[in-house]
A and B are shown apart, each in its own frame.
Chain A
Amino acid sequence: MIELIGDKILWNWWSPVWLVALLVTIAYGRRFGWKNHAKTAWLTTGLAVLVFAFVSPLGVLADGFLFSAHMIQHLLLLLVVPLCLVLSLPVVKSGAFPPAGGLSRLLSKPVVGWLLGLGAMWFWHVPAFCNAATESYAIGIVRSVSFLLTGILFWWPIYSPSKESRLPASNAVVYLFSACLGCTLLGIYITFTTITVCPAFASPEERLAMMTALYDAGMTSAVDQQLGGLLMWVPPCSLYVFAIISVLCRWYSVDDTEALALQAKTMVEASS
């Protein structure tokens, strides 16, 4: 197995993703600077995961060979990378961010974030689209970009850098819980259905040595799809549960200024 992973074919060192990472780094540095180490760490993690998702064997196998590898890549792009990127944005004071244009106001609406985030997940698993994105390089890029963008919109209402545009705790829990329900349904469907969700993976054009080894170890395309479905289901839900935990922590902590503001508000209400 180890030699197989060392196989040169499995590493895509010349992927253009490096360029994307570089551009993001430059843009980030110019806009926000590098003073805040925690934020820098989030950015680094996000970009590292992004690069990993395309350069490593994971990225290569996801490109038409293993459905389950595709699924991991999908989750990294849709959930992990955007989460890290959103968390890497420095906290801003009220009203400063995002620029209050019509479109961005619409996009930062929770309903929109939820629908787009979950929508991307479902849409790209309709057999026809899944196939197209796997077989055509261009559509594949569209898919990856849409994952990253909708992912950012999905996490925005939870971890937005401006406290005002974050959902209140109870709504945030419902938001995340229903998202978990959404990917559970999709995961169950992919796991148990008799349909081949992404036929491109069932019969890859060329075989890699790695694939033969995996096939011999029992990784048939049916097992591959089952594993993919379970990956669609359990890891995202676990991530949502961790997000819920962080929301609850925020909710139970007493932020002095906030508490005082609320107190003032209740006093005003009581006196009126």
Chain B
Amino acid sequence: MSASSAEASGETPSKDPVSGRLLSWVSTVDHKKIGILYISTALVFLGIGGLEALLIRVQLLFPNNTFLSPGLFNQMFTMHGTTMVFLVGMPVLIGFQNYFVPLMIGARDVAFPRLNAMSYWLLPFGGILLYFSFMTGQAPDAGWFSYAPLSTKPYNLMPAQDYWIIGLICLGIGSVAAAINIFVTVLQCRAPGMSLQRVPLFVWMSLMTAILTILALPALNAALAMLMIDRLLGAAFFEPARGGSALLWQHYFWVFGHPEVYILILPAFGMISEVIPVFSRKPIYGYAFVAGSSAVIVLLSYGVWAHHMFAVGLGMGADMFFAVGTLLIALPTGLKIFNWTATMWGGSIRLTTSMMFAVAFLLEFVIGGLTGVMFAAVPIDWQLTDTYFVVGHFHYVLIGGTVFGVFSATYYWFPKMTGRMLSERLGKWQLWLWVFGLNATFLSQHVLGVMGMPRRVYTYAEPGWMALNAIAGAGAVAMAAGTLVLLLNVWVSLRKGERSGDNPWGGFTLEWATTSPPPPENFDVIPRVESRRPVWDLDHPDSADSKFEKTPEDNGWRPDKSVTSVWAFVASEAMFFLLLLVSYVVFNTDQTGDIRSASVLDVARTGLFSIALLGSSFTLWRAESLLKAGRIPQFRRWLMLTIVLGSIFIGGQAIEYYGLISSDVTIDDNLFTATFFTVTGFHGLHVIVGLIALSILLGLAVKQDRNVLSGTALKAVGVYWHFVDVVWIAVFCIIYLRFLQ
């Protein structure tokens, strides 16, 4: 797909056509090409993950089947889940965001094109690491949520689990970087006139998803870091046998995991919020509600994670509160269905494939939502958790929601991306294959779940379950066939698809104001933006929205790129440290044994070094104001002093570590040392990164670099440096001064 769309976009390859074209893709920093790279990579992994799903279905086709060994079965469902979430779902959505967010807000590119390329390349890198585990003789097999203690060393000796961890850390870093990029792009690169209250809903949802990603992924990263320290360095965060807590893993995973499901669904909400109005020829009904309720979802989604843990015994009180929270979050999710339906109501509807996928979304998503709400009733959850009912629930929302949203968007935007139409006839085939497949497979699984079939068990003895499993298998085949139809459709269309023109659907938003495919710089002229539907206004001056519906004007506020991105990064890092510190508090409320903070830490000495670190915040602040005042030599001196103070702190930490390790206090001793070294170690790493950044700034300042002297770079690094200091204050109070013990 990639190579041929380059052809379609009329690229002129350099000398050697093939390698030149390849190079243009590998080295690209164009958000549109990166978007296509994301989507194509996701497609490759969709094939792999789909194959794994088919193998699972074959194994479950009849009772006591031996097609897959139990071990292989575990690997298949683990890899299927991991692949679909991290290598298909997130990338394909980020791909569409990458391609269309800049176009829809009238920007030339994302805020940081190079960072964008890096984020993308972490995807194949992480994916390959994950799949490389097969070469070690065995793939990861602890499930997509890798519950401890199953994922800890005593139960899982193979290196596969380590590949899983490292692969996911790569993917996590890539996702956060991509999210920061989208976040800053939406805030900073909007065309004049486009206030945040006027952005297309897909853009708004992308912004919300970015915030979710920035604040949720660090929870996973913290948990992964701790698991890795357990496995590689012999700590015992998650090993109950040595005092750790397997439950903590569940908490951390779901603190990430529940926001994650919204990361997967919000962009799809955005997609159908574009498609439905265009094919109903009406503006969306209740724009502010759709947008605002998504902001509420973002907030609430951090407060309901424990609904995945009703069965572990959190206590009545906790269960009750989380059940209510879950019901609450279902409101802003469910009520939007009415907005979309009301948008169609009385509109002149065109049932294109894209629109039909959007309608199918509405119907199927409601089913998945309803079964989700059933789980909110704790006793029902106790009955159904870990059965196929859960599998049915989340596939209805993920396929009926995310996948159908993506298909809808594919038919809607493919003409924009390539200049050619997809075949509607093949599209309808794909639609019906998928609708049949989804319901056949997952309705059966709902029933199987109620009958008591447990998920993740490689076979069953009950002959009565066979018929439904066979139907589920047939459904899986239909979905696979539907995917092949899509590939065929793309293939044929790229070769001889009908030319689409700039705006084949009569779309409303800015991406339709440029050519299909858009030129590298996106726009020649950006239309005036005076409402939520600028292209509609342009095409229908007499019934322009701007005449009839007032929306808040753009006040021209565009924050600085680098400072905003550093704030977003700092927020993400703050979550990371917060979780590490929580783990410290959890494991050290009552310390016993010889090795504890009171007996091994030298508070006075570290206090002295801490003063150096805090002092460096002050000197950096001085340096900043001197730079602002234009006193360059003094500025350089204070910057130098900052670096010296920071280095003194690091030196102090080195002395402390040396003392501890030489008196045989190491990370694998007990939970105090494990948490102590983890927290201070990660903090130290951050100080070192900050020192490197400051040194680079100093070097550039000596060379009279204009960027540095303009002050924004210093301000950005300054935010980071002060943040690192604030973290240290918390660390010092909790670990050394033993607050909260």
Contacts and interface: CB of A to CB of B under 8 A. Distances in A.
A234 B324 contact: yes
Interface string B292-310: 1001100110110000000
Contacts of A253: 552
Given A230-B317, A244-B296, A248-B292, A194 B554 contact: no
Contacts of B303: 184, 234, 237
B699 interface: no
A191 interface: yes
Contacts of B590: 194-195
Interface stretch (A48-56, A70-78, A259-267): A259-267
B8 interface: no
Given A184-B303, A252-B197, A189 B585 contact: yes
Contact of A259 (B295, B300, B550): B550
Given A177-B299, A252-B292, A227 B317 contact: yes
Contact of A180 (B299, B318, B556, B585): B299
A252 B296 contact: no
A230 B299 contact: no
Interface in A163-200: 170, 173, 177, 180, 184-185, 188-189, 191-195
B555 interface: yes
A266 B556 contact: yes
B644 to A, nearest CB: 30
Contact of B300 (A191, A233, A241): A241
B492 interface: no
A252 B295 contact: no
Nearest to B322: A234
Nearest to A191: B318
Interface string B544-588: 000000111111100000000000000000000010001001100
A158 to B, nearest CB: 15
B325 interface: yes
Contacts of B292: 245, 248-249, 252
Interface in A219-234: 223, 226-227, 230, 233-234
A259 B553 contact: yes
A216 interface: no
Contacts, number: 74
A238 B317 CA distance: 17
Contacts of A189: 585, 740
Nearest to B320: A230
Interface in B275-318: 288, 291-292, 295-296, 299-300, 302-303, 315, 317-318
B698 to A, nearest CB: 31
B722 to A, nearest CB: 14
A39 to B, nearest CB: 26
Contact of A226 (B300, B315, B589): B315
B568 to A, nearest CB: 12
Contacts of A251: 197, 552
A234 B321 contact: yes
A254 interface: yes
B197 A234 contact: no
A269 B556 CA distance: 8
Contacts of A256: 550
B321 A254 contact: no
Contact of A241 (B296, B324, B589): B296
B299 to A, nearest CB: 6
B197 A193 contact: no
Interface in B158-198: 192, 196-197
A234 B325 contact: yes
B316 to A, nearest CB: 8
Contact of A262 (B288, B302, B317, B553): B553
A192 B553 CA distance: 47
Contacts of A173: 295
B481 to A, nearest CB: 44
A102 B325 CA distance: 42
Interface string B132-174: 0000000000000000000000000000000000000000000
Interface centre among A173, A193, A248 (most CB of B within 10 A): A248
Interface string A202-246: 000000000000000000000100110010011001100100110
Contacts of B740: 189
B317 A263 contact: no
A265 B556 contact: yes
A266 B555 contact: yes
Contact of B555 (A184, A193, A233, A262): A262
B223 to A, nearest CB: 16
Contacts of B585: 189
A129 to B, nearest CB: 13
Nearest to A255: B552
Contacts of B291: 252
Interface string B303-346: 10000000000010110010011001000000000000000000
A25 B262 CA distance: 47
A244 B299 contact: yes
A193 B552 contact: no
22 contacts: A184-B302, A185-B582, A189-B740, A194-B590, A195-B589, A195-B590, A226-B315, A230-B321, A234-B321, A237-B303, A245-B292, A245-B296, A248-B295, A251-B552, A252-B288, A253-B552, A254-B551, A256-B550, A259-B550, A259-B553, A262-B553, A270-B192
Q: Which 6 A-B pairs have the closest CB atoms?
A: A252-B288, A248-B292, A254-B550, A262-B555, A266-B556, A263-B553
Given A249-B288, A259-B550, 14 more contacts: A184-B302, A188-B582, A193-B589, A194-B590, A195-B590, A226-B315, A234-B324, A241-B296, A244-B299, A245-B292, A249-B292, A252-B288, A262-B553, A265-B556
